[in-house]
Structure 1
Amino acid sequence: MLKSTLEQWRMFKAVVDAGGFNQAAAEVHKSQSSVHHAVQKLENAIGVTLFENIGRKVKLSPQGELMYRRASFLLSEAHKLEAVADSLQAGTETTLRIAVDIIFPSELLYNVLAKVSSEFPQLRIEIEETVLSGANSLLSSGKVDLGISPFVLPNGFSEDLCEIEFAAVAHVDHPLHQLNRTLTLEDLKAHRQIVVRDSSAERKADIGWLGAEQRWTVSHVRTSLDIIAQGLGFAWLPIAIIKEELESGTLQPLPLDNNAALRKALLYLSFEDGDTLGPAARAFIGELRYQTMHLPSSDFIMDECKN
């Protein structure tokens, strides 16, 4: 028989997370004495001192630090277990929340969503457009069910989805194109680079060449495209997104040496726990896998734009 309860571990974790018994009581909407009593009973039951008193403050003991890590995992698993039960009880979900990195081809996404909506006409779909680590941040906080991200989800499931190919481009009249020669990265340093910022709260990721002395940072790839089309800078942009501009000749790839103008980024499909996903989410995943298998390569798009 277990010596402790989940509720006691929840109170213990609340004290640590909140920074004290009074603060924890306010967080869990219980009296300070009941929180203190639950932790005291827990210590007596397991025979381990979890906190040390330092003046008026409490601090985790060395044993308490170990138990905190294990308790956090235990409570996380308990929440997941209940989420699985909720999913089984509810049957088909009513809402599907998806975080999608903005470099993922929008036309492909719309095709997938249309297919899923035809199967589940009552389903509400919520799309969060993200940049860099933004999708994983939303997944980790439980705000979305699925994520498409350029990073593997640290504590969950991730599978390779597709490669997105980028080209360094500028307006046809940009000074870099007027040099009429092969460019080096040193040539780019004297010109403005347009970059897209990480949409996560931490904004901890930077991707791509950032060597330009002058940079404008924007929040969406479409804004970057608008700026580039005005001749106000250069950027690495997803080839699938700038296909029309390449075809019309408004934008042209920069003639960098050693094919440095072309880059690739791998996107991942991620989720926290597959057991909690409902039928609509599974249908979305299946259709997404099928559609990305037929994603045209950059070579095909570039050849089409030249013709």
Structure 2
Amino acid sequence: MYRPKSTLEQWRILQAVVDYGGYAQAAKALNKSQSSLNHAVTKLQDLLDVKILETVGRKAVLTEAGKALLRRSRDLTNSVSSLEQLAVNINQDWEPEITLALDLAFPRNTIYQALKTFMPESRGSRLRIIDTVLTGTLDAITSASADIVISLALPKGYLGEPIRHIEFVLVCHPKHYLASLPQPISTETLSQHLQIVISDTSDSPKENQGWLKSELRWTVSQFDSAIDLLRQNLGFCWLPLHKVEHLLSTAKLTRLYLQGSSYKQSSAFLVIPKPEHKGPGVCLLEKLILQQREIDLLCYENASQKNKIDHGTK
């Protein structure tokens, strides 16, 4: 087994000498004698047989080799600090890893904004984000395979905090045959054409959600793939409005209307599958997501009010 010649303390001393601008300043900051620091760096150079510092005038300056070693030494000491902090966090029940399952239809910006705030407070906890769809999202709740789940439905016996309404619209290419028909169209007419559907991420999917009446269906794993197919004038698809709003406004896709109702809306919930087991990291991330929900709601209300005023002025 390899036994290192140098110690972490020697590398930390070298970093301090460089960061504080000399032995005297580093000795004061570390509350050590200047001679002990000089001895530690000299011994480090002797052990490695590499010149790390050289004296220029009255100042110790890094050599090119010293610069490379210093960069790597910071990775080493940071890794050890993270390892020690992880041990403290585990001892304090702070989770070493947090799993977040997100239904693919949920707008990511809300989550990303919360994660920006969470990152500096995460104490080195790893975050694993899983994309889920339909039954796969419900499975993440019932199997407790995720610590936090953003779901468009609640399994029986589970509670969730509503965080957003998501509208789904029926869309196709502007030159698709369905787009040329008088609107609204019948479900019978719609069922005669290719439907693009998003695959269920569950190992045992249950096709009891959404409109699945077309005999000819192509299945993709994500909304972006469905949108790409639609833009090639292939099929129709139910998609979250926030995913295609810009394409509808620029006439790259067009909306279809069904007889009876073309309105589909789902509520997204934040679910903690095992609330009795949630640790401080999960509690913090849950709190930040709910705070972002309030910010998003306020922005939406302000935008709606401005829109009303603008239209009133016109």
* TM bucket normalised to smaller: 0.5 to 0.7
Q: Distance in 2 between matches of 1:216 and 1:254?
A: 19
Q: Distance in 1 between matches of 2:183 and 2:203?
A: 42
Asked if 2 retains the 8 angstrom alpha-carbon contact of 1:117 and 1:123, the reply is no
- Corresponding residue for 1:222? 224
User: What does residue range 290-305 of structure 1 map to in structure 2 within 5 Å?
Assistant: 290-293=291-294, 294-295=296-297, 296=300
**1:123 counterpart (103, 122, 125):** 125
Asked if 2 retains the 8 angstrom alpha-carbon contact of 1:140 and 1:272, the reply is yes
Tell me which amino acid in the other structure corresponds to 2:204.
E
Deviations 1:216-271 (A, max 9, x none): 1222222222211211011110001112212221111113344x222111222212
- Corresponding residue for 1:200? 202
- Corresponding residue for 1:254? 256
Deviations 1:264-294 (A, max 9, x none): 1122221232232122211221222232342
1:99 CA displacement? 0.8
User: What does residue range 1-307 of structure 1 map to in structure 2 within 5 Å?
Assistant: 89-120=91-122, 122-154=124-156, 156-258=158-260, 260-293=261-294, 294-295=296-297, 296=300
- Corresponding residue for 2:20? none
- Corresponding residue for 1:61? none
The alignment partner of 1:240 has SS state of helix
Q: Distance in 2 between matches of 1:142 and 1:153?
A: 12
The alignment partner of 1:115 has SS state of helix
Asked if 1 retains the 8 angstrom alpha-carbon contact of 2:195 and 2:235, the reply is yes
Q: Distance in 2 between matches of 1:141 and 1:184?
A: 39
1:121 CA displacement? 5.5
Tell me which amino acid in the other structure corresponds to 1:238.
P
Q: Distance in 1 between matches of 2:235 and 2:158?
A: 38
The alignment partner of 1:246 has SS state of helix
Structure 1 residue ranges, 4+ long, deviating more than 4 angstroms after superposition: none
Q: Distance in 2 between matches of 1:142 and 1:255?
A: 38
| TM-score of the superposed pair, with normalisation by structure 2 | 0.61
Q: 1:291 to 1:283 in 2, by over 3 A?
A: same
Tell me which amino acid in the other structure corresponds to 1:263.
K
- How many residue pairs match? The answer is 214
Deviations 1:75-121 (A, max 9, x none): xxxxxxxxxxxx98433223210111100002222112112113226
1:170 CA displacement? 0.7
Tell me which amino acid in the other structure corresponds to 1:189.
S
| TM-score of the superposed pair, with normalisation by structure 1 | 0.63
Tell me which amino acid in the other structure corresponds to 1:273.
K
Q: Distance in 2 between matches of 1:195 and 1:268?
A: 22
Tell me which amino acid in the other structure corresponds to 2:249.
E
Q: Distance in 2 between matches of 1:234 and 1:241?
A: 15
1:155 CA displacement? 5.1
Tell me which amino acid in the other structure corresponds to 2:113.
N
Q: Distance in 2 between matches of 1:256 and 1:136?
A: 28
Tell me which amino acid in the other structure corresponds to 1:275.
E
The alignment partner of 1:91 has SS state of coil
The alignment partner of 2:208 has SS state of coil
Tell me which amino acid in the other structure corresponds to 1:131.
V
Tell me which amino acid in the other structure corresponds to 1:120.
S
Q: Distance in 2 between matches of 1:237 and 1:178?
A: 20
Q: Distance in 1 between matches of 2:147 and 2:189?
A: 44
Asked if 2 retains the 8 angstrom alpha-carbon contact of 1:162 and 1:266, the reply is yes
Gaps of 5+ in 2: 1-88, 308-314
Q: Distance in 2 between matches of 1:283 and 1:230?
A: 44
Tell me which amino acid in the other structure corresponds to 1:270.
V
Asked if 1 retains the 8 angstrom alpha-carbon contact of 2:90 and 2:96, the reply is no
